[in-house]
Amino acid sequence: MTNADDIWRDVFVTGLKNAHAVENQALALMDRQIDRALNFTEVADRLKAHRLETEGQIVRLETLLAGFDETPSGLKDAALSLGGNLAAIGHSFAEDEILKNAFANYAFENFEAASYRALILLAESGGYAAAYDPLKATLEEELRMARWVDESLPILVEKHLQLRRAGENASR
Q: What is the pTM of this model?
A: 0.87
Question: What are 51-60's pLDDT values in tens digits?
Answer: 999 999 999 9
Residues of 25-43 as b/e, b for ≥16 C-beta within 10 angstroms?
bbbbbbbbbbebbebbeeb
Helix (H, G, I), strand (E, B) or coil at 96: coil
What is the CATH classification number for the domain harbouring 132? 1.20.1260.10
- 65 lies in a domain? yes
User: Quick one: how many helices (H) and strands (E) in the chain?
Assistant: 5, 0
Number of domains within the chain: 1
Query: 27 with 123: CB under 8 angstroms?
Result: no
**What does the longest C-alpha to C-alpha distance in the chain come to?**
69
Please give the chain's pLDDT, 172 residues, in tens: 566 678 889 999 999 999 999 999 899 889 989 988 888 999 999 999 999 999 999 999 999 999 999 988 665 545 555 554 445 545 454 568 889 899 999 999 999 999 999 999 999 989 999 999 999 999 999 999 999 999 999 999 999 889 888 887 755 5
- 171 lies in a domain? no
Question: Which residue range is the domain that position 134 belongs to?
Answer: 4-165
160/151 Cα distance (integer angstroms):
15
